[in-house]
Homo-oligomer: A and B are copies of this chain.
Amino acid sequence: MHKHISEQYDLELSQIRDTLMEMAGLVEVQVNNACTSLVNHDMELAEEVRDVESRLNQFEVDLDDRCVSIIAKRQPTAGDLRAIVSVMKVITDLERIGDEADRIAKMALELADSEKPEHQYAEFRAIHANVMKMLKRTLDAFARLDVESALRVFEDDENIDRAYNKIVRQSIETMQSNPQEVERSVSLMWAARALERIGDHAKNISEYVIYQVKGHDVRHSDVAGEMLE
């Protein structure tokens, strides 16, 4: 009987994790499309991102529901419980990454009306590429419960923060020297801010990977730094 319950639990948990990875795949596509629509002034693609957003919300509600059910029915303890709690936390971060992609698509729509700027969004493209790499690493770490990859994500996040601060400084200079550029620069700053937030959420997800595997909470501690040394 006990073995039966445990097998059933493992099966259900792995189905939940499969759906979560499906959601994560869709989140990656959303972030990528939102950024691509921005740099290419592609309004159609931006609208598509905005339409797909509701599917992510549906994933979130459905997955949360299944997590609560599995806890109620299977009453997992220790490691099994940590696994399901991690999944619940990751769902929230994925949904919020989706919200940020939606915000980027909104900014893409605002920018699409104007001419492309001289710099051709060079810095934004750079952050975009880094965020995609970081997201991929994060999700691979989560799928394979790979602590080492998860720890690397912390370094990725620092790079993104640096690139983001550079965009803000550049935008401020542009606005100071050219008042016609104010609106465009503000939209670009908001979009860059959204990418910076996506980096934060990816970092949160990596923390849950470590929590799930190692069983201790690395949030707000220097454990991650020490583990990397």
Chain A residues in the interface with B (C-beta under 8 A) = 54, 57-58, 60-61, 64-65, 68, 71-72, 75-78, 81-82, 85, 88-89, 92, 168, 171-172, 175-177, 179-180, 182-183, 186, 189, 193, 217, 219-220
Contact = CB atoms under 8 A, between A and B. Distances in A.
A220 B172 contact: no
A208 to B, nearest CB: 11
A179 B92 CA distance: 40
Contact of A179 (B72, B78, B177, B193): B177
A164 to B, nearest CB: 12
Contacts of A180: 176
A180 B60 CA distance: 45
Nearest to A72: B77
Number of copies: 2
Contact of A217 (B64, B71, B179, B219): B64
A187 B163 CA distance: 18
Interface of A is mostly: helix
Contact of A172 (B54, B65, B177, B186): B186
A23 B193 CA distance: 28
Contacts of A75: 75
Contacts of A220: 54, 57-58, 60-61
A143 B57 CA distance: 27
29 contacts: A54-B220, A57-B219, A58-B220, A60-B219, A60-B220, A61-B219, A61-B220, A64-B217, A68-B81, A68-B85, A71-B71, A72-B77, A72-B78, A72-B81, A75-B75, A85-B88, A89-B92, A92-B92, A168-B186, A171-B186, A172-B186, A175-B175, A175-B179, A176-B179, A176-B182, A177-B179, A179-B179, A186-B189, A193-B193
Contacts of A78: 72
Contacts of A89: 92
A72 B88 CA distance: 16
Nearest to A69: B81
A129 to B, nearest CB: 25
B172 A182 contact: yes
Contacts of A64: 217
A184 to B, nearest CB: 10
